[in-house]
Structure 1
Amino acid sequence: MGNDKRTVLITGFGPFGEHSVNVSWVAVQNLKRRNLLPDVNVHIEEIPVDYQEVSQIVTELWEMEDPLLMVHVGVSDFVNKITLEQRAHNTGYYLKDIKGKTPNKECCREEGEECICAGLDMSRVSAEINNADNELQAEVSYAKTGRYLCDFVYYISLSINKSRSAFIHVPPLNQPYTEDQLGEGVAVAIFAMLKQLPK
């Protein structure tokens, strides 16, 4: 019976800068540990804040797992809600990763389109979170990924399958949400996204 479940692949990032423990990975692990999405096969993966490795790992995950949905989770000091990114960008990656490097030509995919919008309607996902019986709040963003690994990883997935890719930003821990609330917020968002996909 369990083998009939479709796979949802969720990534969180490893440490970088002042984030010695990346809250995105904490939230993803919390969701998995508490089995908050029991009707799907949840596969989680921690990915490094490294342009070259991210590009290779995410492409391989798509090829190996063929997930129904690929959801990337990142932390942002600039958000205080569950923030759903609607699009990602191809160029302008001048910020250095944990190895002190930038991608070739500061670009994600050479000759790729400058901006890719997700096929999922993030405003519908946001509304479901805001209308749910919890203390979580959500918003849709078109630019908060910034030109760093969050935007970079999202663009890779959108370029592979924009109908089944998503990016969720979470705020730092206890600003204002606990670890459990962050796990629940990501789970509610993913559940809402799955409603938009063919079964």
Structure 2
Amino acid sequence: MGSLAPAGGFGNKEGINVLVTGFGPFGENTTNPSYQIARSLPNKQNIPGLPPITLHIHPKPITVSYTHVREVIPELLFPKDGLKPKYDIVLNIGLAPGRNFYTLETLAHRDGYNRKDEDGKTMEGDTFWRIELQAPEKLHTSFDVEDVWRRWKSGLMNVDLRPSNNAGHYLCDFTYYACMLEYWRREPSGQRLCMFLHVPSGLEEEDINRGREAALGLITALVASEMAGEGNKRGDDVVEETEWDRAADDECN
């Protein structure tokens, strides 16, 4: 990827800090490849034309629990009672067992979490986000997803990469929403430089290596897009519903 004029939000930054998370086991998935991929990532990325990128891999997998996510995400992203986020970009990686491709998730949902988590609980009847916080039904990433997807795809021509607008109404979707909510709570019209990557099943070395390549390529695309100043196109403006979106509630579990 060639040199880019620093016209975007990262134009004056000497380095970019990216938080990366993955999930723990759930159901029949006793080892979750999302965390195996996250923990395989290097601490640094040096890409010509971009500031140095430091990857902060969360040292523990996110527990597949609604309660755990609500407890851990706020303190993970922001200092206590702070307005400035700890990281420039947040990338969550999750497992979509029913898919054999990688998806860039453009939005997350507030409601519809009726499936039991690893604690045996659902979010049925919970009103905190909807009534107490009066949060929107959907939250969209602030990244220009069309531009990010194009850059991501151009760097990984032999990997099946797809944009998506349905992360599945389970812990992946819930966590993505919880992350973006923390930004929305502080500034509803502000930036939410969060992204969610869904990866397919597979724990062989080649699967983890391919997932690692996809994650690193996505991080590069996210930073390059912001550096180029192509932002402000929300996901709902550019991504239409697809067949894999309609199947997400069954596949992203």
Structure with the bigger percentage of strand: 1
Shift of the 76–107 alpha-carbon distance from structure 1 to 2, 3 Å rule, reads farther
1:31 aligns with 2:54: no
1:168 lines up with 2:197 in the alignment = yes
TM-score normalised by L of structure 1: 0.87
Q: Percent identity?
A: 29
Provide the C-alpha distance between the structure 1 equivalents of 2:34 and 2:69, rounded to a whole number of angstroms: 15
Aligned to 2:118: 98
> Gaps (5+ residues) in structure 2?
1-13, 47-51, 80-84, 184-190, 229-253
Cα displacement string for residues 140-172 of structure 1 (whole angstroms, at most 9, x for unaligned residues): 0001x1111011011111122353111110111
| Change beyond 3 A, Cα 1:36–1:81 | farther
The two structures, once aligned, show a CA RMSD in angstroms of 2.2
Distance 1:180 1:20 in 2: 19
Cα-to-partner distance string for 1:62-110 (whole Å, 9 max, x where unaligned) = 1146100011110102322220001100011111110101236256723
2:72 maps to 57
Q: Give the Å deviation of 1:27.
A: 0.9
Q: 1:122 maps to which residue?
A: 145
Q: Measure how far apart 1:36 and its partner are.
A: 6.2
C-alpha separation in 1, matches of 2:118 and 2:223: 33
| CA–CA distance in structure 2, aligned partners of residues 173 and 36 of structure 1 | 25
Q: How many matched pairs? A: 192
What's the TM-score, normalizing by structure 2?
0.69
- Residue number in structure 2 paired with 1:132: 155
Aligned counterpart in structure 2 of residue 150 of structure 1, from 157, 169, 172? 172
CA deviations 1:118-145 (Å, max 9, x no partner) are 11122222222322255212110001x1
- Deviates most, 95-104 or 67-76: 95-104
Uncovered stretches (5+) of structure 1, i.e. residues with no partner: none
Which of 1 and 2 has greater Rg? 2
Does residue 43 (structure 1) correspond to residue 56 (structure 2)? The answer is: yes
Residue identity matched to 2:113 = Y
CA distance 1:133–1:72, shift in 2 (3 Å): closer
One-letter code aligned to 1:63: F
Runs of 4+, deviation exceeding 3 Å: none
Q: Does the C-alpha gap of structure 1 residues 97 and 184 become closer, same or farther in structure 2, counting only changes over 3 Å?
A: same
Asked if 1:13 corresponds to 2:54, the answer is no
